[in-house]
Amino acid sequence: MSFVYNADPERGREWQRLFELRAPEIAFRVWPDIGSEEEVRYLGTWAPIEDLARFPNLEVVFSLGAGVDQFDLGSIPSHVPLVRMQEPGIVATMQEYVAMAVLALHRNLVDYIAQQRSATWQALRVRPAAQCRVGILGLGQLGAAVAQHLTGLGFACQGWSRTRRQLQDVACFAGDDELPRFLSTSQVLVCLMPLTAETRGILNATLFEQLPRGASLINVGRGPHLVAADLLAALDSGQLSAAVLDVFDPEPPPVDHPLWHHPRVLITPHIASMTQPESAIERVLDNIARHREGREMVGVVDRQRGY
């Protein structure tokens, strides 16, 4: 019985050590050294793997990330569940990143970077976090935890999801009908939604127009959520004041992409959060135990919804 790992090799060595310690009965194999195809029961992968039919005894595909938009859901046999990553390490690192980005925007870091370039010493008005309302698109594993973390830092938080959520001290909006009201008061908008047919291109001119003038954007969802030309137009017109972007379409963006050089855009290379093997191993082993015992696993992707 083997678990085949197909992702970042450095973290693969950590996964290997943890498997050897915690589950020595499962042979841990690193792609492409997969051993016998008949032995493969579990696949842990970031990228989709073609021709899963060659693993006749495959039982579960684990996405090593929270997102699953990279997979062609139709190509995974229907009796093989696809499980996305839900674990404390990916949550904590996303909380850190979004806090960093919200604080950078709230405390005018984009302006001060420009000022430093021109040796300008000019104080800008400092306002309390409570006067800054952060709106989070997506209130799932990550969005809900980010909202609660930002609330702890003193920001006023609200979130939007498909179905109604309830979170302490966070105003929760749901569905298309409530989106305009949510947007009209979101001074910093954070995208933490999965990429699906419904959410592709959601960060567009129509949405930007509904935000308060001078709002800012943090995209940590997926690149195709954003219509880049609409963001550039909104930044240039002043409708948006700044953007922090961690995800792109394609990744990396071409070297001559205007976003690289826009003075009001901060860019990071898709590192907002990362699965942490030390904590993720618990989730994966727990899910393997659940699967063996016929219990429901945590994080099974609903193929109809696409997330």
User: Residues interacting with ligand NDP, by CB under 6 A?
Assistant: 65-67, 90, 138-143, 161-163, 165, 192-196, 198-199, 220-222, 246-247, 270, 272-273, 307
Here the tokens at position 298 are 């945590």
The answer to whether 221 contacts ligand OXD (rule: CB under 6 A) is: no
The answer to whether 65 contacts ligand OXD (rule: CB under 6 A) is: yes
Please list every residue from 85 through 114 that binds ligand OXD, using CB under 6 A. Answer: 85, 90
Whole-number Å distance between alpha carbons of 125 and 133: 17
Nearer to ligand NDP, 115 or 196 (CB): 196
Nearer to ligand OXD, 90 or 147 (CB): 90
Confirm whether 222 is a catalytic residue. yes
DSSP string, 201-223: T-BSHHHHHTSPTTEEEEE-S-G
Whole-number Å distance between alpha carbons of 75 and 61: 12
- Please identify, among the stretches 60-68, 195-203, 261-269, 291-299, the one whose residues bind ligand OXD according to the rule CB under 6 A: 60-68
Q: What character string, x for contact with ligand OXD (CB under 6 A) and - otherwise, covers 9-38? A: ------------------------------
Here the tokens at position 186 are 């979101």
Q: Are 41 and 3 in contact (CB under 8 A)?
A: yes
Q: Which does 95 bind (CB under 5 to 8 A by kind): ligand NDP, ligand OXD, none?
A: none
Nearer to ligand OXD, 101 or 215 (CB): 101
Q: 3: alpha, beta or left, given left = phi > 0 and alpha = psi -120 to 50? A: beta
Nearer to ligand OXD, 65 or 159 (CB): 65
- Please identify, among the stretches 14-22, 24-32, 64-72, 253-261, the one whose residues bind ligand OXD according to the rule CB under 6 A: 64-72
The answer to whether 67 contacts ligand OXD (rule: CB under 6 A) is: yes
DSSP string, 160-202: EESS---BTTEEEEEHHHHHHHHHHT-SEEEE-----TTTTT-
Nearer to ligand OXD, 142 or 157 (CB): 142
Whole-number Å distance between alpha carbons of 83 and 300: 4
Residues whose CB is less than 8 angstroms from the CB of residue 142 and which lie 6 or more positions away in sequence, other chains included? 66, 90, 91, 94, 192, 273
Confirm whether 270 is a catalytic residue. yes
Q: Among 133, 270, 290, 303, which one carries the catalytic annotation? A: 270
User: What residues are labeled active site?
Assistant: 222, 270
- The residues that touch ligand OXD, with contacts defined as CB under 6 A, are 65-67, 85, 90
